[in-house]
Structure 1
Amino acid sequence: MLPVRRRIRHGGRNLLRETRRPVVSTSTTETRGSDFARLAQRVSDAGLLDRRPVYYAVRISLAALAYLGGWAVFAWVGDSWLQLLVAAAMAVVFTQLGFVAHDLGHRQVFRTRRPSDVAGLLIGNLGVGLGWGWWTHKHNRHHANPNHEDHDPDVSPAVIVWSEDQVARSHGLPRFIAKYQAYWFFPLLTLEAWHLHIASFKALLKPSAKRRGPELALLLTHFVLYFGLVFTVLPWDKALVFLLVHQGLFGIYLGVSFAPNHKGMPVLTKEDKLDFLRKQVLTSRNVRGNPFTDVALGQLNYQIEHHLFPNMPAPNLRRAQPIVQRYCAEIGVDYLQTGLVESYGQALRHLHEVGAALR
């Protein structure tokens, strides 16, 4: 059963916004269930699910060198406002390491769990101060039900609200923000890194947390070294500004890398009964790639392919894109690909429309 939807113009194409009267889907479950299997066979035959050990060896080595080199430059520059440039550079390095941790969480780098976990903990917890185990679990829940109001933690109404139903149920700060949340979105991203740090600690303080001891020890070690180095090299005023710039830009970079992927795409509810392929494709948006965009966004601009094949090594996503796009055209599934700037426009317009009732 699928809900009847009314068409809305969105970014030069039609997207679907839900109403509540269900109708029978035009394709059977049996037919739709086999669609992904046929696509997976094509992708597998092209060798795109094969591991890329040389690529990841080079990528991780370059990221590690940039990380260690950045802190060496920080120590060399010393007591100077030029450290704000170092803060900006380290925000880029931290985000790139976050992309590597993301790939490790999806088992794109190693086939087995143990080396993926070890590398993920070293990069995530110790390197950038994010609870890798907690974030990976949350991110896998997102992959299982992207843009689903009830099951995707990335569209839970914490501060930003993502649907009109969430606006109707909102109160307090989310309701205050929702009125003009499109204008609040980018300023709020300056707090995103701090939010992830705090959420990591909160998750690890729960008795049910897996690997609680090692993860917490690595996370604490990161912040002892991080704050210790910053406040040892810089006087307190420059240190505070460095922290604000570094963590603020880190949060913005993370936010602008993930926002184009799903924000402004259809939000699903329990009434939506979609097979795996349609659930992933219809809620995801691709950003047209080029070498710079691919590196800057950690190749997550091929979001549709990534959601269909989350364990596909990142450098293979670009090659998979035309295969997936052609296949979606063959079976009549909408496939959205747009430019980077337009992807932000679509996301912001959606946030603004969601809050319209409060205006």
Structure 2
Amino acid sequence: MGKGANLVPDVEEKSVSGETKIFKWSEIRQNKWIVIDNNVYDVTNFSKKHPGGKVILLNNVGQDATDAFTSFHKDMNKVEKYLKALKIGKVVAESDINQKEERKDELHKDFQQLRKLAEKMNLFKPSPWFYSLHFLQLIVLDLIGTYLIYKSGYENWFTYFIAVACLVTTQAQAGWLQHDLGHLSVFKSTKMNHFAHKVVICAIMGFSSDRWNNRHFKHHAKPNAIKKDPDIRFSYFYLLGKKLPEEVGKKKKGWLPYNLQQFYFFFTLPPVLVPILSVLEMYLYMIRYMKIMDMLWITLYYIRWYFMFVPSLGVLGAVKLSFLVRFFQSYWFIWSTQMSHLPMEVDYDQDLSWFRTQLITTCNVEQSAFNDWVSGHLNFQIEHHLFPTMPRHNLYKIAPHVKQLCEKYGIEYQCKTMSQATFDIYNCLKESGEIWYEAYNS
């Protein structure tokens, strides 16, 4: 596994005798080390210092993390100093490697060639015009919403809800922009991406950038993986996939009537995720890990909201407006993101190749001006998961090449209509609920 061209500096770790240490995969799995391009790294102590959080590293121990590593790290020179200290040797090519593993290695090489093609096509280069217009959209909509509230307040309910629509759109579109900044795909400078990320997600949206990074990259590393992807951890309320519902059903566990989850899902998670659950989780996270800077940045959001709306609506009215905006934003967010993941395979981590993992857990929605805008180009969810640092306005350009690689290896490339993707949320919840019900009553 991972025998492509070297992707990290080849800094040899010598044993006492001066020879490079060679490890077998059984040793690597037992000691929970990580392999990147055939080099073995001991991340036991470093995991606590990892900028992306320790869990994302620990979720990849005992595995070849080459493609995940190159996909998440934009500046290879920056991580070189860490790799030098962590390298302990190389992995030996086992003689009993089977056909499946050879195929996995071949796919890895082809994916790396695809990445090189994307680099030659300048697809990792962001468009200043695209992101400038996107940010301008936020300012204009926010000003319109504020002006309508200032002029009418509660006096004209039609004007009030037009203002709410503008503010909801501002928050939803800011969500897509902060997502791009969090993935370091807007500016060449990593520091500038981080700074702008705090401006957008903290000051404009009122959420923690550090908490978002910590959670979101776990999802990207192991999408739809039970116990590893935080985005599917709702076992008390909903059961997803085929394996988990059967396991829970056989244990005769059932906090709720999961065979009806396709109905109550739409009236439970979407209304509370952004306005309540995300806020509570965020503050618990910031207090636990003492994220003082994020707290200070978020204070700017509340100051901004106070001066924009309290003079017209009063304190209680401004709070109500904030909740109402986040209520509708939550539906927008869940609909746009979960239609690409919930209906796909949900299982325990199978240690598959990076390419295959993303394709079986992710699907696309057909391209159109509306679909691109409303989903923040995450209708190209497959390409985004394969190349997280690629600016979203370039995702459609690499899509044909991704399809060709899928055809070569017989991997299904799913692209749905918006309506079908929406209905599939209902369908997958219904199927999972029925699996639980049958197992529970057997």
Taking structure 2 as the reference length, what is the TM-score of the superposition?
A: 0.69
Query: Does 1:147 pair with 2:229?
Result: no
How many angstroms apart in 1 are the aligned matches of 2:334 and 2:407? Answer: 30
Aligned position for 1:32: 107
Aligned position for 1:342: 420
> SS state of the match for residue 279, structure 2?
helix
Query: Does 1:310 pair with 2:416?
Result: no
How many angstroms apart in 2 are the aligned matches of 1:227 and 1:124? Answer: 17
> Which structure has more RCO (C-alpha within 8 Å, separation ≥ 6)?
1
Aligned position for 1:123: 200
Aligned position for 2:162: 85
How many angstroms apart in 1 are the aligned matches of 2:256 and 2:128? Answer: 48
> Quick check: 1:288–1:337 contact (8 Å CA) kept in 2?
yes
Query: Does 1:223 pair with 2:302?
Result: yes
Query: Does 1:291 pair with 2:373?
Result: no
Distance 1:222 1:240, change over 3 A: closer
How many angstroms apart in 1 are the aligned matches of 2:416 and 2:339? Answer: 9
How many angstroms apart in 2 are the aligned matches of 1:177 and 1:72? Answer: 46
How many angstroms apart in 2 are the aligned matches of 1:92 and 1:333? Answer: 36
> Quick check: 1:261–1:286 contact (8 Å CA) kept in 2?
yes
The partner residue of 1:278 within 356, 365, 379 is 356
Query: Does 1:249 pair with 2:328?
Result: yes
Distance 1:91 1:174, change over 3 A: farther
CA shift for structure 1 position 229: 4.6
> Quick check: 2:144–2:166 contact (8 Å CA) kept in 1?
no
- The within-5 A match list for 1:1-359 is 26=100, 28=102, 29-80=104-155, 81-82=157-158, 83-157=160-234, 159-167=237-245, 168-169=247-248, 175-176=255-256, 178-188=258-268, 189-194=270-275, 195-206=277-288, 208-209=289-290, 212-226=291-305, 229-234=308-313, 242-270=321-349, 272-356=350-434, 357-358=436-437
CA shift for structure 1 position 320: 1.6
Query: Mean Cα displacement is larger for which, 156-165 or 76-85?
Result: 156-165
CA shift for structure 1 position 182: 1.2
How many angstroms apart in 1 are the aligned matches of 2:239 and 2:189? Answer: 37
CA shift for structure 1 position 72: 2.6
> SS state of the match for residue 262, structure 1?
coil
Distance 1:160 1:174, change over 3 A: farther
Query: Mean Cα displacement is larger for which, 35-44 or 159-168?
Result: 159-168
Please give the root-mean-square deviation of Cα atoms over the aligned residues, in Å.
Answer: 2.6
How many angstroms apart in 2 are the aligned matches of 1:127 and 1:153? Answer: 24
**CA deviation profile, 1:254-307 (whole Å, cap 9, x unmatched):** 11110122111001313x231011011111100001111101110000000000
> Quick check: 1:84–1:245 contact (8 Å CA) kept in 2?
no
How many angstroms apart in 1 are the aligned matches of 2:242 and 2:303? Answer: 43
> Quick check: 2:124–2:390 contact (8 Å CA) kept in 1?
yes
Distance 1:228 1:187, change over 3 A: farther
CA shift for structure 1 position 231: 4.5
Instruction: Name the amino acid aligned to 1:125.
Output: C
Distance 1:191 1:302, change over 3 A: same
> Quick check: 2:363–2:414 contact (8 Å CA) kept in 1?
yes
> SS state of the match for residue 175, structure 1?
coil
> Quick check: 1:84–1:242 contact (8 Å CA) kept in 2?
no
Taking structure 1 as the reference length, what is the TM-score of the superposition?
A: 0.84
**Which runs of 5 or more residues in structure 2 are unaligned?**
1-97
How many angstroms apart in 2 are the aligned matches of 1:25 and 1:269? Answer: 22
CA shift for structure 1 position 216: 0.6
> Quick check: 1:181–1:355 contact (8 Å CA) kept in 2?
yes
**CA deviation profile, 1:26-85 (whole Å, cap 9, x unmatched):** 452322321311221222232212222222122212222322332233222223223122
**CA deviation profile, 1:136-160 (whole Å, cap 9, x unmatched):** 2211111111110121111112533
CA shift for structure 1 position 309: 0.5
How many angstroms apart in 1 are the aligned matches of 2:402 and 2:152? Answer: 48
Distance 1:51 1:85, change over 3 A: closer
Instruction: Name the amino acid aligned to 1:223.
Output: Y
**Which runs of 5 or more residues in structure 1 are unaligned?**
1-23
> Quick check: 1:192–1:251 contact (8 Å CA) kept in 2?
yes
Query: Mean Cα displacement is larger for which, 288-297 or 243-252?
Result: 243-252
How many angstroms apart in 2 are the aligned matches of 1:118 and 1:54? Answer: 19
CA shift for structure 1 position 224: 4.8
**CA deviation profile, 1:151-197 (whole Å, cap 9, x unmatched):** 111111253332355444499x9831633111122222021211222
